[in-house]
């Protein structure tokens, strides 16, 4: 059995890769260099792919800076810092990249059909406070229809399934799962900034740090500033 894994190098996608491997899938990882501010995550993706022993790791390059629309692709837009969980949950944040997961899943689908894979794994999570529209169950269901209708394999009744094993898990549960699977957290990267150290104050860093702290664990990733005590 083969599976394509959308691998950003972050906590969630790394856990998904290790889970797919533990379930006996021959894993083909695909990562995306879209000229994001946090391209540091690509180094993490390559390291995680090596640690997991994937069959193949593709890095697809394109430039979303051309039209911006997100703090992750436009350096003129500030990345939000020091936000509470309540603030994170109120609106879709400026770190949302327009239609990013639709782009990623389209590449993943093409890669899966070309390699004869039965599944495309993606580490989306609907319980994170980011509230991104392309991380929600109804979106994944709609994309599954696209997978079925938009491919030769799907039309022939050989479904390429979208696997979202983390979609209903809290961040603490994801870390616990990753611990059981042996995910090397020190190799992962979740920060929205592109420094040598994680900033510790963007939404992604705060959610990650808070989850490790809730479990009584120390995140092994180096931080310029730790800000774990976020709350509503």
Q: What is the DSSP letter of 80?
A: P
Annotated binding site for Zn(2+): 191, 199, 202, 205
Query: CA-CA distance, 147 to 215, in Å (whole number)?
Result: 37
Annotated binding site: 7-17, 191, 199, 202, 205
- Tell me the angle at which helices 171-181 and 203-214 cross, rounded to the nearest 10 degrees: 70
Query: CA-CA distance, 21 to 27, in Å (whole number)?
Result: 6
Q: What is the DSSP letter of 134?
A: G
Annotated binding site for ATP: 7-17
Query: CA-CA distance, 224 to 145, in Å (whole number)?
Result: 43
CB 195 within 8 A of CB 43: no
Query: CA-CA distance, 119 to 17, in Å (whole number)?
Result: 12
């Amino acid at each position: 059995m083969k599976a394509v894994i959308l691998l950003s190098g972050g906590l969630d996608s790394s856990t998904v890769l290790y889970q797919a491997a533990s379930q006996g899938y021959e894993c083909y990882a695909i990562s995306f260099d879209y000229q994001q501010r946090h391209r540091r995550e690509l180094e993490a993706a390559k390291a995680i792919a090596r640690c997991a022993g994937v069959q193949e790791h593709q890095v697809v390059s394109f430039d979303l800076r051309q039209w911006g629309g997100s703090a992750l692709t436009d350096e003129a837009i500030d990345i939000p810092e020091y936000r509470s969980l309540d603030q994170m949950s109120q609106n879709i944040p400026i770190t949302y990249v327009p239609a990013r997961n639709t782009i990623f899943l389209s590449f993943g689908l093409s890669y899966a059909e070309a390699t004869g894979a039965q599944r495309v794994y993606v580490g989306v999570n609907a319980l994170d406070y980011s509230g991104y529209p392309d991380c929600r169950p109804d979106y994944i269901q709609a994309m599954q229809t696209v997978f079925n209708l938009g491919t030769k394999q799907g039309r022939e009744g050989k479904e390429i399934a979208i696997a979202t094993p983390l979609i209903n898990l809290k961040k603490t549960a994801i870390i616990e799962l990753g611990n059981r699977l042996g995910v090397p957290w020190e190799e992962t990267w979740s920060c929205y900034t592109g420094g040598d150290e994680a900033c510790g104050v963007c939404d992604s860093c705060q959610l990650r740090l808070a989850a490790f702290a809730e479990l009584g664990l120390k995140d092994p990733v180096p931080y310029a500033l730790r800000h774990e005590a976020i709350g509503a």
